[in-house]
A and B are shown apart, each in its own frame.
Chain A
């Protein structure tokens, strides 16, 4: 009896990929890439996102289910630049034969200390490179749907161009001397470089390290002397420290910025475009006064 149950289970597991074979199996490493793939692939791909909404891609621990997902994938879209440190081992252990697409290919990385800064998607110009890379990979993996992908991509690139113009217009309204904020980690380097807003981070690159009293004192002194107008929180890290800094310096608490992760459907930033819009609204709201 038990043997028969096992047999059924094994059959069910091995049979399921066959049924989904018509649609291209694509795996994206985290929620923002997932959204970009969805915009291009639409219903023609079968998309799975490994690190979902509101989760931290830096410190993710893969599950056995992830290994299975990766093993079944035809195309694997990753950010690269050292963001998914846990991925190479997952790829190896799952025995996946998926074609790996590095979405940041062709982007000149900024430096964070001695390492490359992986948060390239924060500049809309870079997101267009991401989109082009993903399009090329999908077209070569599934030539039958190539025209669909191309059409969807062109439409989406137009939307991104409009978004870029929107961001520049919004920033132009902020007085230059007020274009400075504090945020919880260095996720906005590309945004800062592209749009000219200075981000000062209390903790350095990683969300892991614990600050000393001296670090906090230095930031508070900096906010006071440079008259930095606003302090921002992030959706995936502990906000108490930033809250304390705001309370002590009289800087505005500017709300939440989304850096490494989208929110769920009901949240403020379910897609990449919504995320950029939300961030720019929060920034102009706090700095524009």
Chain B
């Protein structure tokens, strides 16, 4: 009975196994990035980026029609351009990162809409570009996996400067020049993760599996490393439970996964050991020496 409900969907159907593999890969790459995004107060960057890639996708579409590879490549380039320009502007001037990003992504969106309508076509490009987790072919699965690998390797290299900069940027500036390159590498990682995530899984999942587990982890730890160690399994758990829910109930898979994560978030807000509401109402006794 329990086997039928929880395991049989995955043994009977290859598309469920593929979806699960994609969710795990996404969790491995997106979990740590989400934690850093949250600590740097950039949690809404993902949604902005979803619009910023439109002109790239549109140009890819103009050059080679409904070709996913060309549209994804275009999206990546547009995403990089927006992220890097926004990063450079906020580094070089006093403008805050979110403000400069908002400016660039709105410009990018306007450019994209213009390009699409000049061509006069009526195919909803973003609709085509954003994939579905139930329809993964070998190519996209490989893309998500490669992406998670690159993310983890690059994060391993820039981990120290990134952590220090998230906590105390002024200190980092006095002892090292690694801050700016680490920040730009991090922005590039966000773009890679989001764009490949959009293509494979759709906007909701790509952004949601990055941000929600990070916010959940915040309620269970104060330190970055344990936070990442909590965020990744949380994302995997949400993905698995969401897929089972979608299989058993008819809720579309993307929303199902995010709803499970949201339920975990609600639980954490109430009962989390760091700043959870219940814990604030009934504080533990202070340790005495």
B146 at the binding interface (Cβ < 8 Å): no
Tell me how far the C-beta of B118 lies from the nearest C-beta in chain A, rounded to whole angstroms. Answer: 12
Q: Within 8 Å CB of B137, what residues of A?
A: 240, 243-244, 247
Q: Are B254 and A214 in contact (CB under 8 A)?
A: no
A55 to chain B: closest residue by CB: B122
Q: Which residues of chain B (122-160) have a CB below 8 Å from chain A?
A: 122-124, 127-128, 131-132, 134-137
Q: Within 8 Å CB of A248, what residues of B?
A: 13-15
- Total inter-chain residue pairs, C-beta < 8 Å: 82
Q: Which interface class (under 10, 10 to 19, 20 to 34, 35 or more) fits B?
A: 20 to 34
Give complex CA distance A220, B14 in Å: 10
Given contacts A243-B135, A244-B134, contact A213 B9 (CB under 8 A): yes
B249 at the binding interface (Cβ < 8 Å): yes
B233 at the binding interface (Cβ < 8 Å): no
B248 at the binding interface (Cβ < 8 Å): yes
Give complex CA distance A63, B119 in Å: 13
Tell me how far the C-beta of B140 lies from the nearest C-beta in chain A, rounded to whole angstroms. Answer: 8
A238 to chain B: closest residue by CB: B128
Q: Which residues of chain A (16-69) have a CB below 8 Å from chain B?
A: 51-52, 54-56, 59-61, 63
B276 at the binding interface (Cβ < 8 Å): no
Tell me how far the C-beta of A284 lies from the nearest C-beta in chain B, rounded to whole angstroms. Answer: 26
Give complex CA distance A178, B124 in Å: 35
Q: Are B124 and A210 in contact (CB under 8 A)?
A: no
Give complex CA distance A215, B117 in Å: 34
Q: Are B136 and A213 in contact (CB under 8 A)?
A: no
A216 to chain B: closest residue by CB: B134
Q: Which residues of chain B (11-29) have a CB below 8 Å from chain A?
A: 12-16, 19
Tell me how far the C-beta of B257 lies from the nearest C-beta in chain A, rounded to whole angstroms. Answer: 10
Q: Are B134 and A238 in contact (CB under 8 A)?
A: no
B121 at the binding interface (Cβ < 8 Å): yes
Q: Are A211 and B9 in contact (CB under 8 A)?
A: no
Partner pick for B123 among A55, A63, A216, CB 8 A cutoff: A55
Q: Are A214 and B132 in contact (CB under 8 A)?
A: no
Tell me how far the C-beta of B124 lies from the nearest C-beta in chain A, rounded to whole angstroms. Answer: 7
**Which chain A residues have a beta carbon within 8 Å of chain B's beta carbons?**
51-52, 54-56, 59-61, 63, 210-217, 220, 236, 238, 240-241, 243-244, 247-248
- The 6 tightest CB contacts between A and B, nearest first, are A55-B122, A240-B135, A213-B246, A210-B252, A241-B135, A213-B247
